[in-house]
Amino acid sequence: MATGRAQVVRVTLVSAIVVLAAAGGSLLFTETASVTVSVPRQNLEAVATLAGGLGGGALPTERFQVYASESQQGSASTVQVSGRSTQVIQQSDFDAVRNALSVKVTNELGAALYAKSQGNLYVGDSQPDITVTSDHNVGDETPLFTITVSGAIGATAFSERDANVLMLAALKAKVPSGQELTDDPVQFIFQGRQVGPNADVLVTGDDVLVTGKADGYIVPKLSPQSLTSQIRGLSPTDAASSLQRTAPRSRVEIRTSPGAMPLLPVIADHISLTIVVEPARGHF
């Protein structure tokens, strides 16, 4: 009876091992390591002349003009002339109507520029060309007078999309070797100004200067596969030092399983390496 029980125990143990192996199990632990490399972003800036200036720039621009005109009737002041009361246009009468019309026409010109730009960015001329006409002059004896104010202004328009393409190319050209732009949105800022008198701009369009600025972030260009091969078989301390030499200012965290190990696994597939880009520490 005792022998029979011993045989039963041996058979059961062997069966358990066979079943475990058949299910893909193992009686040995697999050593693994989890490595996280946190790299800081660095700001990268590019500034370029897009249109105008000595080089002319590569940004296509287009000149356009808008017009506006308004008329308004005014009343002359009542004054005493040679002992009689009559209405004579005073300078203050004329100025009140002219100034009100000038403001109205200037506002209309601004709205017309925006409408005609059709969503493009533009650099307006420094000042509009304003013309004032009237059916009477200051000092005329008349109860009513009519003033007409006409205005024209030009602008140099350019496509924001075209400007973004040029500035992104300028930013990429400044990325140092071994670095790459992050996936963060690139911020674009454009400035335009007139560098010549209105007459020159209207004739040539060359006296408008458009500059651009692009801000982005860069990080070291790292390959998880390459880094994994670089640190396999090293001690955790040596592995961290090696990674920090490859990615300066990075933070390295290493965890091993099933417990603390003197060396990382020699088999690269047993090392899980993740690269994390840290949030920017500043703003554009």
pLDDT tens-digit profile, the chain (284 residues): 444 443 333 333 333 333 434 444 444 568 899 999 999 999 999 999 898 765 567 899 888 999 999 999 999 999 999 889 999 999 999 999 999 999 999 999 999 999 999 999 999 888 899 999 999 999 999 999 999 999 999 998 999 999 999 999 999 999 999 999 999 999 999 998 876 665 555 444 457 888 999 999 999 999 999 999 999 999 999 999 999 999 999 999 999 998 899 999 999 999 999 999 988 665 54
For the entire predicted model, the pTM comes to: 0.70
- Strand residue runs (E) in 159-281: 179-181, 187-194, 208-220, 251-257, 271-277
The pLDDT assigned to 57 comes to 73
Main-chain phi, psi angles of 87, to 5 degrees: -105, 125
Number of Cβ within 10 Å of residue 177's Cβ equals 5
Name which of 167, 220, 216 is nearest 187 in CA terms. 216
Q: Are 234 and 271 in contact (CB under 8 A)?
A: no
Residue appearing with tokens 């860069």:
218
The pLDDT assigned to 53 comes to 63
The pLDDT assigned to 192 comes to 87
Name which of 145, 258, 167 is nearest 214 in CA terms. 167
Contacts 24+ apart (CB under 8 A), 227-232: 227/35, 227/37, 227/273, 227/275, 228/35, 228/268, 228/271, 228/273, 229/268, 231/35, 231/264, 231/271, 232/264, 232/265, 232/266, 232/267, 232/268, 232/271
One-letter identity of residue 192: G
The pLDDT assigned to 18 comes to 37
DSSP secondary structure letter of residue 52: B
Length of the chain: 284
Q: Is 246 left (phi over 0), alpha (psi -120 to 50) or beta?
A: alpha
How far apart CA 154 and CA 160 sit, in angstroms, is 19
DSSP secondary structure letter of residue 176: P
Q: Are 160 and 120 in contact (CB under 8 A)?
A: yes
Residue appearing with tokens 């192996």:
21
How far apart CA 176 and CA 256 sit, in angstroms, is 35
Helix axes 236-246, 224-231, angle to 10 degrees: 140
Number of Cβ within 10 Å of residue 155's Cβ equals 26
The pLDDT assigned to 257 comes to 92
